[in-house]
Amino acid sequence: MTAPGGSEDRTMVIERFIAAPVAAVWGAWFDPLALPQWWGPDGFSCRTSRIDLREGGEWVFDMIAPDGTVFPNHHRYTRIVPQARIDYVLHWGENGPVHAESSARFAPEDGGTRVTLTMTFVSTEEYRNAKGFGAVELGLQTLGKLARHIGAD
């Protein structure tokens, strides 16, 4: 997949089919109580400081690794198309530097929903670092947790 604006060398795409209707997948993603329960790779948990899931809103949270390492995160929601798309900016911690521009897209597909995560990193180096630590595999684990959360795995 080629990203617009010549960013293909720093764009990561992660896809998964989830055997549930778009409404169920969207509901788990856009529910401020549900989202922190399944977000993150296997073994990780989330500690939310604040969450406001709307266009112009934000989610400030820590991802906590199984070994207790804390990874501060900040998502700023820039565009929301209900049951179709969420665009957001990833920051390294609250009001920290931008890490990537991201989107989550939800498309109906026979028997379920195709979820596509796209992250365009601020630099090729950021992309390589993310890919190097296993971001694709970790993203697929996150989508697996989403599927399990809604009983579609």
Domain ranges, ordered by start, for the chain: 10-149
The pLDDT of residue 8 is 85
Report yes or no: 28 and 149 within 8 Å, Cβ to Cβ. Answer: yes
The pLDDT of residue 1 is 39
The candidate with the shortest Cα–Cα distance to 11, out of 148, 116, 144, is 116
The candidate with the shortest Cα–Cα distance to 118, out of 132, 130, 133, is 130
The pLDDT of residue 2 is 39
* Residue 22 in tokens: 């778009």
Residue 76's φ and ψ, nearest 5 degrees, are -115, 120
The pLDDT of residue 6 is 66
Whole-number percent of the chain with pLDDT over 70: 96
For domain 10-149, give the CATH superfamily. Answer: START domain (3.30.530.20)
Residues with Cβ within 8 Å of 92's Cβ and at least 6 positions away in sequence, in order, are: 72, 73, 74, 99
Flag residues of the chain having pLDDT under 50.
1-4
The pLDDT of residue 98 is 97
